């Protein structure tokens, strides 16, 4: 298989690429990583794989139709996995337009280029071609405490500009399958965590702020509930869906672990208390600070992944206890990676550009 991965220098994309290139028995002949290297795209995530002869990096945007078409033809691509997206809710509230440009217009242009490539393939390759679009549970909106978890049939009800842009991209993927018969698949995942997570997101932010003696900001009452999915389990699910999923179908991917945000923060504090204690002997929990809630903050997400489990036999390997311990250990061992990102972020802010 020759595989094109878009957004492969980001958090989930880089973990997917690493898994595919290091797992024994990989069927890949070539893996092309197309990434625009915006603020969350970090080539350092994959620096140790740069010497793999199967790996090719291309710097560019999914909105660049000419570049995408050239990569598809030059590398004889058999499948596309689309991770490329603006993905931070707070940023979408501050400035929605980049989310529309990347997540909606970018996905549209990517689909157009892929459709033209696919339609010109020989019949045997055409039949085996796949386009997998990676999306989020946020397209479904929010749940009340006693509501059943989101299924693949839950109506879309996005509540942030980010979620709305992802819902639009999901609809485009579905439309291209229905109208043009492009062999598409979609996955909608719950909140991911694990290695290489950009430090503005909840779990890495709490780890790094704690170690730096900074406040641990918790929105509102901290009782917003999320279903936490270890990123390597998500990557394995994507690969399974790509290989065995039914064309035109959506598969929800969840961690089977609903927890309030405040409990996540307290768990991180307890782990750090054991693994890297404060110099004064006090608990990191003393740094927890409640701040004004995010506008339109969804109260609860929960994923029902029975379809993925029943049809394809997937299940998460990591419990939250094992996954969060691995995550804390990784950040403790990779402080240089974190400080490099922070330095670049502050450099952009000093120059007046988007961080």
Catalytic residue set:
137-138, 162
Cα 81 to Cα 68, 130, 223: the distances in Å are: 13, 8, 34
Cα–Cα distance between 316 and 250 in angstroms, integer? Answer: 18
DSSP 244: H
Which residues lie below 8 Å from residue 286, measured CB to CB, with a gap of 6+? none
Q: Would you state the structure tokens that stand for residue 318, as one six-digit string? A: 């990591």
User: Which residue, among 231, 248, 252, 250, has the nearest Cα to 323 in the 3D structure?
Assistant: 231
Say if residues 165 and 94 touch (Cβ distance below 8 Å): no
Helices (H), the chain: 11-22, 65-74, 89-94, 97-99, 107-119, 123-128, 161-180, 202-211, 231-244, 261-275, 306-312, 320-333, 335-350
Burial 93-104 (b: 16+ CB within 10 A, else e): beebebbbebbb
Cα–Cα distance between 31 and 52 in angstroms, integer? Answer: 10
Cα–Cα distance between 230 and 228 in angstroms, integer? Answer: 7
């Amino acid at each position: 298989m020759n595989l094109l991965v878009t957004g492969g220098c980001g958090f989930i994309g880089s973990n997917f690429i690493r898994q595919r290139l290091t797992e024994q028995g990989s069927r890949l002949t070539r893996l092309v990583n197309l990434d625009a290297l915006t603020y969350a795209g970090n080539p350092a995530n994959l620096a140790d794989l740069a010497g793999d002869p199967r790996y090719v990096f291309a710097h560019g945007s999914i909105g660049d139709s000419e570049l995408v078409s050239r990569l598809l033809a030059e590398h004889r691509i058999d499948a596309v996995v689309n991770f490329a997206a603006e993905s931070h809710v707070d940023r979408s509230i501050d400035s929605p337009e980049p989310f529309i440009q990347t997540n909606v217009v970018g996905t549209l242009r990517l689909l157009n280029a892929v459709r033209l490539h696919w339609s010109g393939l020989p019949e045997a390759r055409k039949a085996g071609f796949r386009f997998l679009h990676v999306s989020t549970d946020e397209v479904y909106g929010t749940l009340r405490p006693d509501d059943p978890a989101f299924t693949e049939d839950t109506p879309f009800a996005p509540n942030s500009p980010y979620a709305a842009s992802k819902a639009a991209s999901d609809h485009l993927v579905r439309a291209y399958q229905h109208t043009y018969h492009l062999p598409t698949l979609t996955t909608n995942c719950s909140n991911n965590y694990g290695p290489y997570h950009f430090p503005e997101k909840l779990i890495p932010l709490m780890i790094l702020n704690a170690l730096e003696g900074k406040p641990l900001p918790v929105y509102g009452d901290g009782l917003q509930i999320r279903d936490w999915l270890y990123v390597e389990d998500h990557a394995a699910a994507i690969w399974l869906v790509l290989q065995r999923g039914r064309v035109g179908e959506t598969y929800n991917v969840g961690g089977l672990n609903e927890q309030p945000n405040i409990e996540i923060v307290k768990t991180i504090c307890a782990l750090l208390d054991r693994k890297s204690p404060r110099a004064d002997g006090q608990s990191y929990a003393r740094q927890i600070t409640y701040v004004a809630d995010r506008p339109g903050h969804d109260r609860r997400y929960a994923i029902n992944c029975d379809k993925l489990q029943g049809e394809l036999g997937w299940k998460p390997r990591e419990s939250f206890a094992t996954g969060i311990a691995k995550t804390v250990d990784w950040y403790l061992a990779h402080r240089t990676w974190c400080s490099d990102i922070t330095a670049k972020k502050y450099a952009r802010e000093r120059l007046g550009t988007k961080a």
